[in-house]
């Protein structure tokens, strides 16, 4: 047990939102509010930008009942960012400013909720604070629908997106088969360079209403082979459904979607999209057949109404655990999830992972979980993902529409200075 450290905390959300990132926010905020070591709980507006800009919301001012609604409110309620922080050794401007804010508000705890890039930000802040001798405990809370985060069995946000994708594939499968004329349907799924989300469409196939083929970025894409797959299956069944990850690429590394790629984000990631239409056009050139391109778009990361209860529970637990780790003295860590399957089915256990083991790495679908021909996943993948999507969320409805959290968002700068 480390010595007690008293001070306030800042919590921030970063990167693309998910259905459950606010569940983690709830976990952190609730546990921090409960903790005697933590004197005040700040929520940064737009992640690290809120720290740099002194835009901090005082969570102590919120109605506790309202905070509870965060659990089923999709997207990042405090606002997110895709801001890339410099290496502290190269440019310490941002770090000096962060230190200034930390001192201003007596911040001794920093919790940051995000994916690979956010864990990199966390790691750099932790190193900088150590280098200047400012005691502050920095803990990362994992979040990404892409599930590409290293150091954890899986990542909060992934399973809810996977469940939405599987359900949407099932519904689309039923819809596309109603006419006596055949059809090829191509569903484009997010995931950047990792195929976890597209692979989750296999859950629909397991349930009897899913794609015939799934193409992942983990296997080089071959357009002729793809068209052969589609043509053969269409000849045999009269209907073909294909799930495809936005990040598929040819063997030379160029993205299949490149024809329509127009921009990159602040981290240099290419903004992908329009892939389903490109593939649909390729199918039409090969065969005289009805083809429909469907892009699940933002909905796959925002569909809180169809979240996984397991995912929600783990997202809350990851947030709470981050606070527990920090209060007991840890820093430079991320909360990871360990899978315990022993005798009684799946259990996800929280564990502490060094940030340097996580930052800037990408975890991909193991090649052995993809079939030899590279156009579907194996049972190993199903066994991996199935426990994670279990359980229906307990949504609060008003007029049968979801009731989201309504925070007051009182700015710290608007309050009189706190006595310590």
Sign of CA dihedral 76, 79, 84, 85: negative
Q: At what angle are helices 309-327 and 158-176 packed, to 10 degrees?
A: 170
Torsion of CA 313, 171, 234, 291, to 10 degrees: -110
Extended strands (E) in 165-309: 183-189, 213-215, 239-245, 291-295
Shortest separation between residue 175's beta carbon and its own copies, angstroms: 4
Phi, psi of 322 (to 5 degrees): -55, -45
Distance of closest approach, residue 388 Cβ to its own copies, in angstroms: 10
CB of 419 to its own copies, least distance (A): 32
Nearer to its own copies (CB atom), residue 138 or residue 303 = 303
Q: How many CB atoms lie within 10 A of CB 54?
A: 16
Q: How far is the CB of 40 from its own copies (least distance, A)?
A: 24
Q: How far apart are CA 377 and CA 84, in angstroms?
A: 34
Q: Any alpha helices (H) in 157-246, and if so which ranges?
A: 158-176, 196-199, 202-206, 223-237
Residue 346: Cβ within 10 Å count: 15
- C-alpha distances (whole Å) from 383 to each of 50, 345, 377, 387 are 40, 11, 11, 7
- CB contact at 8 A, 376 and 213: yes
119-140 b/e (C-beta count within 10 Å ≥ 16 → b): bbbbbbbbbbbeeeeeebbbbb
CB closer to its own copies, 308 vs 321: 308
Cα separation, 184 vs 281, whole angstroms = 11
Nearer to its own copies, 208 or 268 (CB): 208
146 is catalytic: yes
Side-chain-side CA neighbours of 181 within 13 Å: the count stands at 4
Whole-angstrom distance, CA of residue 143 vs CA of residue 161: 12
Instruction: Give the nearer residue to its own copies in terms of CB position, either 60 or 313.
Output: 313
Residues 6+ apart with CB under 8 A from 330: 2, 137, 139, 352
| Chain residues that interact with its own copies, rule: CB under 8 A | 13, 16-17, 46, 49, 73-76, 79-82, 163, 166-168, 170-172, 174-180, 203-204, 207-209, 292, 294-295, 297-299, 301-306, 308, 386, 389-392, 397-404, 406
Of 203, 171, 172, nearest to 308 (Cα)?
203
Nearer to its own copies, 35 or 167 (CB): 167
Q: Which C-beta is closer to its own copies: that of 29 or that of 296? A: 296
- Per annotation, catalytic residue among 94, 126, 146, 148: 146
Q: Please identify, using beta-carbon distances, which residue of 134 and 404 lies nearer to its own copies.
A: 404
Catalytic residues: 146
């Amino acid at each position: 047990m480390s010595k007690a450290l008293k001070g306030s905390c800042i919590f921030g959300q970063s990167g693309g939102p998910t259905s459950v990132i606010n569940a983690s926010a709830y976990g952190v905020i609730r546990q921090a509010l409960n903790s005697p070591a933590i004197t005040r709980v700040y929520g940064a507006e737009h992640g690290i930008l809120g720290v740099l800009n002194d835009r901090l919301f005082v969570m102590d001012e919120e109605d506790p009942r309202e905070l509870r609604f965060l659990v089923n409110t999709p997207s990042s309620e405090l606002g997110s960012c895709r801001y890339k922080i410099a290496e502290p050794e190269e440019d310490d401007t941002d770090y000096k400013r962060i230190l200034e804010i930390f001192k201003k508000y007596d911040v001794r705890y920093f919790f940051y909720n995000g994916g690979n890039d956010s864990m990199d930000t966390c790691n750099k802040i932790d190193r900088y604070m150590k280098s200047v001798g400012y005691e502050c405990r920095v803990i990362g809370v994992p979040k990404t629908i892409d599930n590409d985060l290293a150091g954890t069995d899986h990542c909060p946000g992934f399973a809810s997106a996977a469940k939405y994708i599987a359900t949407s594939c099932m519904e689309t499968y039923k819809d596309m088969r109603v006419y006596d004329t055949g059809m090829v349907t191509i569903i484009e799924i997010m995931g950047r360079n990792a195929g976890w989300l597209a692979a989750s469409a296999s859950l629909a196939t397991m349930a009897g209403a899913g794609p015939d083929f799934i193409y992942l970025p983990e296997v080089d894409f071959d357009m002729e082979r793809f068209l052969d797959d589609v043509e053969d299956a269409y000849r045999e069944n009269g209907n073909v459904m294909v799930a495809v990850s936005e990040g598929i690429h040819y063997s030379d590394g160029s993205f299949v979607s490149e024809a329509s790629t127009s921009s990159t984000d602040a981290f240099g990631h290419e903004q992908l999209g329009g892939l389903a239409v490109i593939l649909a056009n390729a199918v039409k050139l090969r065969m005289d057949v009805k083809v429909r391109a469907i892009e699940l778009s933002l909905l796959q990361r925002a569909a809180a109404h169809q979240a996984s209860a397991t995912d929600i529970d783990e997202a809350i637990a990851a947030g709470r655990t981050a606070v527990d780790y920090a209060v007991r003295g840890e820093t430079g860590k991320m909360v990871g999830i360990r899978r315990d399957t022993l005798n009684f089915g799946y259990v996800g256990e929280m564990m502490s992972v060094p940030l340097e083991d996580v930052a800037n790495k990408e975890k991909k679908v193991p090649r052995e979980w993809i079939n030899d021909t590279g156009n579907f996943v194996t049972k190993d993948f199903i066994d991996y993902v199935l426990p994670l999507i279990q359980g229906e969320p307990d949504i609060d409805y008003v007029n049968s529409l979801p009731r989201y959290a309504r925070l007051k968002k009182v700015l710290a700068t608007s309050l009189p200075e706190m006595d310590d």
